[in-house]
Amino acid sequence: MIIGAGLTGVASAADVLVTSNISTSTTWTANNTYNLQQQIYVLPGATLTIEAGTVVASDTNIGGSLAVCRGAQIFVQGTSAKPVIMTSKADVATWVGGDPKTGTWREAANEWGNLTIMGDAYISENAIGTNTSVPNAANVGNMEGLVAGPTTDQYGGGNDDDDSGSISYLSLRYGGKVVGLGNELNGLSLGGLGRATDINYVEIMNNVDDGIEIWGGTVNLKHFSIWNVGDDSFDVDQGWRGKAQFGLIVQGYSVNASQGSGVGDNCFETDGAEQSDYQPVTTATIYNCTVIGQPIDGDQGTAWRDNARVQYRNCTFMELGEELVKFDNVDGDGGNGYGFGGTLSWANTWATAYNAAPALPNDFTTGTYAVNYAAQSSGNLAEISDSVFYNNFFGNAYTQATTVGVFAGARNNVTAASSPIVSLTRGAPVVKGGKTMVQVLTLDPRPANDAVASIAAAPNDGFFTPASYRGAFDPACGQTWIDGWTASYAFGFTPTVAGPSFYCTAKVNSKGCTPALSTTGTPQVANCSSEAFNLTASNLIGQKNGQWYYGTTGPLGAAFSGGHLCVKSPIKRLAVQGTGGAGSTCNGVLTTNFNARICGGTDPALTAGKQVWAQAQHRDIPSPGAISLTNGVTFVICP
């Protein structure tokens, strides 16, 4: 790696030119910007750690990309306050003062490569002549879009517990560099990853090909946002046996090119295996997705091929251009579809219980069916249930869905008369790639009307979060999980919605200063041990101890010791140490990470959906025995 001149506008960070593969464990830090000059590989045995707040910005159009080989690991350590951004220099040029939480959306993609991660779990792939239809640790695939050759570009194996690292708060923008016709890079490519790999909070904005594509493996994903990609938003193949929850898909276009290479295609595209009788076969469960299509010229909500078996539950599908359920049967590469080689027919896949699939000669020879296909634990192999459909006006939007029983009473699906999200605005129609597009300009995706409550919820199985609503966002939470760190937020598509609010009146302290409250972060029970929600009181006197009052029963404005108490009894107290100078000026600060309290287990009242009222109290020196109270803040704890 070569350190060059600073990247203009990115907090004066040094521009590190990444020119060679990573063969020893390496950490990329937030005080640098990393510029991928070619396809860069993290080689087997090496680990790449990317600290929170790091920007990876490659020279536009030179083809820089990042690929993690089998036997290597990547740890993307972003937070909601300091996400990791992977993008192009052309995107960075639109940021205000180098701040990645600003910027301007452009009709663009293909400006750099992508992030590809390759693992060691089972896959089903027939393009390599030595592969077999029986699950075999020797079965491998060659990763799409990579050019170095089999030593670095292959994925697959026999370890469903493969751990290729973790991703947290990663925004991938303007990628998908085309290697050749039909050989394009997806926003995030995952090949043969195991269930020990952790992917949580990831966004793809404006990719030329698919948003997320998964080939085989057992990897699970949580909190993913996919906008304006040029092909399928969420695409799976080669026997993916995983789980996904809390996904936002917004169809659109990235560049003015044909559908599939710039204009969005299917929202979900699910292929079972390369050759539909190969094992393993895609068998997955997807909960709580909000899917917003293109109503005039978009494609399918869900497309099904090659014996894929997927459960969609507690989802919202709205403004689709074509069918909710599309029976594609085969993927067009010469394979066979449903019913081939003793597999279930299309109709029977929807009618067969998750644990009643017929045994095949090429089924797994190790373990048990329940272990190898653990992503499903109830219901039928294929289903859409407890979901809401809205403004899907295509003539055949529900024809196939009706045929396979999506509208049977036991499925608890709703065709809504009112919008299932809070708000949506679109731009004027434009023609891109021969298709009429109406771009989403602003979106508040929180549930409304029929989406606010579901009949059932995801199981509490260690991965899924039991969420009794439809779609990707909690209606009880004042903020959304895309707020603050995504490109959709930076570009103004998803502006900040209601968060913590302030009330009550602070008491002026003896120096004539009014204590003030502020907050950063999101109160939440997920990741709350690593994601801070800071309550800060400033304009206090000196470096003195203080404490936070909080309660869950409501606000109060009664007088207290000459000040103003804002928290209703019973009041709980949280003591903290203040910072600041001597007691002669109003420079004291009192800060606490309230998420540590939520996660600490000492207060069982602090659960998801609970509203909290809080204020700070501090000693008012040099007036012995006197105290001052800040104003109050109220917030809702998110999942």
Instruction: Assign 331 a pLDDT band (cuts: 50, 70, 90).
Output: confident
Distance CA 535, CA 524 (A): 14
What's the token pair of residue 584?
Answer: 């002669």
Instruction: Assign 624 a pLDDT band (cuts: 50, 70, 90).
Output: low
Instruction: Assign 65 a pLDDT band (cuts: 50, 70, 90).
Output: very high
pLDDT of residue 29: 98
Q: Are 272 and 314 in contact (CB under 8 A)?
A: no
pLDDT of residue 547: 85
Is 122 contained in some domain? yes
**What percentage of the chain exceeds 90 in pLDDT?**
69
Instruction: Assign 3 a pLDDT band (cuts: 50, 70, 90).
Output: very low
Q: Are residues 417 and 524 in the same domain?
A: no
Q: Are residues 563 and 624 in the same domain?
A: yes
Is 44 contained in some domain? yes
| Span 309-319, average pLDDT | 98
Distance CA 480, CA 308 (A): 32
Is 402 contained in some domain? yes
Q: Are residues 93 and 193 in the same domain?
A: yes
- Highest mean pLDDT: which range of 176-190, 535-549, 604-618: 604-618
What's the token pair of residue 262?
Answer: 């710039």
Distance CA 377, CA 346 (A): 20
pLDDT of residue 13: 81
Which residues pair with residue 503 across a beta bridge? Answer: 632
pLDDT of residue 544: 58
* Domain boundary, last residue among 434, 456, 490: 490
Distance CA 516, CA 506 (A): 8
Distance CA 426, CA 408 (A): 33
Q: Are residues 517 and 408 in the same domain?
A: no
What's the token pair of residue 574?
Answer: 């949280």
Q: Are 372 and 240 in contact (CB under 8 A)?
A: no
| Span 304-311, average pLDDT | 97
Instruction: Assign 9 a pLDDT band (cuts: 50, 70, 90).
Output: very low
Q: Are residues 486 and 572 in the same domain?
A: no
Distance CA 16, CA 31 (A): 10
Distance CA 374, CA 330 (A): 25
Instruction: Assign 317 a pLDDT band (cuts: 50, 70, 90).
Output: very high
What are the pLDDT digits (tens) for 352-388? 999 998 888 888 877 788 889 999 999 999 999 999 9
Q: Are residues 478 and 576 in the same domain?
A: no
Please give the C-alpha separations between residue 348 and each of 315, 345, 374, in angstroms, as whole numbers. Answer: 23, 5, 20
| Span 437-455, average pLDDT | 97
pLDDT of residue 583: 52
| Span 217-222, average pLDDT | 98
| Span 116-134, average pLDDT | 95
What's the token pair of residue 446?
Answer: 């929180």
DSSP tag of 400: H
Instruction: Assign 6 a pLDDT band (cuts: 50, 70, 90).
Output: very low
State the pTM of this model. 0.89
Given a cut of 60, is residue 543 above it in pLDDT?
Answer: no
Is 125 contained in some domain? yes
Which residues make Cβ contacts (< 8 Å) with residue 603, sequence separation at least 6? Answer: 572, 597
Cα 561 to the chain's mean position, in Å?
48
* Domain boundary, last residue among 448, 463, 490: 490
Q: Are residues 384 and 518 in the same domain?
A: no
How many CB atoms within 10 Å of residue 600?
Answer: 11
Given a cut of 90, is residue 453 above it in pLDDT?
Answer: yes
Q: Are residues 515 and 480 in the same domain?
A: no
- How many structural domains is the chain composed of? 2
Given a cut of 60, is residue 407 above it in pLDDT?
Answer: yes
Given a cut of 50, is residue 326 above it in pLDDT?
Answer: yes
DSSP string, 286-316: EEEEEEE--TTT---SEEEETT-EEEEES-E
Q: Are 193 and 101 in contact (CB under 8 A)?
A: no
Amino acid, res. 23: S
pLDDT of residue 389: 98
DSSP tag of 343: P
| Span 107-122, average pLDDT | 97
Which residues pair with residue 155 across a beta bridge? Answer: 141
Distance CA 298, CA 305 (A): 19
Given a cut of 50, is residue 8 above it in pLDDT?
Answer: no
Please give the C-alpha separations between residue 195 and each of 46, 51, 70, 160, in angstroms, as whole numbers. Answer: 20, 23, 15, 6
Is 478 contained in some domain? yes
Distance CA 18, CA 36 (A): 5
Given a cut of 70, is residue 619 above it in pLDDT?
Answer: yes
Cα 537 to the chain's mean position, in Å?
32
Given a cut of 70, is residue 334 above it in pLDDT?
Answer: no
What are the pLDDT digits (tens) for 501-529? 888 888 787 778 888 898 888 888 877 77
Instruction: Assign 559 a pLDDT band (cuts: 50, 70, 90).
Output: very low
Of the candidates 384, 304, 300, the residue with the CA atom closest to the CA atom of residue 337: 304
What's the token pair of residue 470?
Answer: 């439809």
Q: Are residues 511 and 472 in the same domain?
A: no
Distance CA 504, CA 560 (A): 13
- Alpha-carbon Rg for the chain, nearest whole angstrom, is 26
Is 451 contained in some domain? yes
| Span 232-260, average pLDDT | 97
Distance CA 225, CA 233 (A): 9
pLDDT of residue 219: 98
Q: Which domain holds residue 396?
A: 2-490
- Min mean pLDDT across 94-108, 149-163, 180-194 is at 180-194
**What percentage of the chain exceeds 70 in pLDDT?**
92
* Domain boundary, last residue among 470, 490, 510: 490
Given a cut of 80, is residue 1 above it in pLDDT?
Answer: no
DSSP string, 3-67: EEEEPTTSTT-EEEEE-S-B-S-EEE-TTEEEEE-SEEEE-TT-EEEE-TT-EEEEPTTS--EEE
DSSP tag of 134: S
Helix, strand, or coil here: 166?
strand
Angle at 447 between CA 444 and CA 448, to 5 degrees: 100
Look over the chain and give the mean of its residue pLDDT values, rounded to a whole number. Answer: 90
Q: How many CA atoms lie within 13 A of 409 on its CB side?
A: 0
What's the token pair of residue 562?
Answer: 């000459």
Helix, strand, or coil here: 474?
coil
Of the candidates 215, 233, 200, the residue with the CA atom closest to the CA atom of residue 143: 215
Given a cut of 70, is residue 5 above it in pLDDT?
Answer: no
Given a cut of 70, is residue 156 above it in pLDDT?
Answer: yes
Angle at 45 between CA 31 and CA 163, to 5 degrees: 85
What are the pLDDT digits (tens) for 455-479? 999 999 999 999 999 999 998 887 7
Is 496 contained in some domain? no
Helix, strand, or coil here: 146?
coil
User: H or E segment at 218?
Assistant: none
Strands 559-560 and 563-564: antiparallel
Q: Are residues 410 and 513 in the same domain?
A: no
Q: Are 507 and 423 in contact (CB under 8 A)?
A: no
Helix, strand, or coil here: 152?
helix
Q: Are residues 481 and 546 in the same domain?
A: no
What are the pLDDT digits (tens) for 252-284? 999 999 999 999 999 999 999 988 999 999 999
Q: Are residues 322 and 353 in the same domain?
A: yes
| Span 389-412, average pLDDT | 97
DSSP tag of 524: B
Which residues pair with residue 591 across a beta bridge? Answer: 536
pLDDT of residue 561: 42
Is 104 contained in some domain? yes
| Domain CATH for 607 | 2.60.40
Given a cut of 90, is residue 599 above it in pLDDT?
Answer: no
Given a cut of 90, is residue 243 above it in pLDDT?
Answer: yes
What's the token pair of residue 114?
Answer: 């992508």
pLDDT of residue 625: 57
Of the candidates 116, 122, 112, 87, the residue with the CA atom closest to the CA atom of residue 101: 87
Backbone phi and psi for residue 304, each to the nearest 5 degrees, phi listed first = -125, 130
pLDDT of residue 410: 94
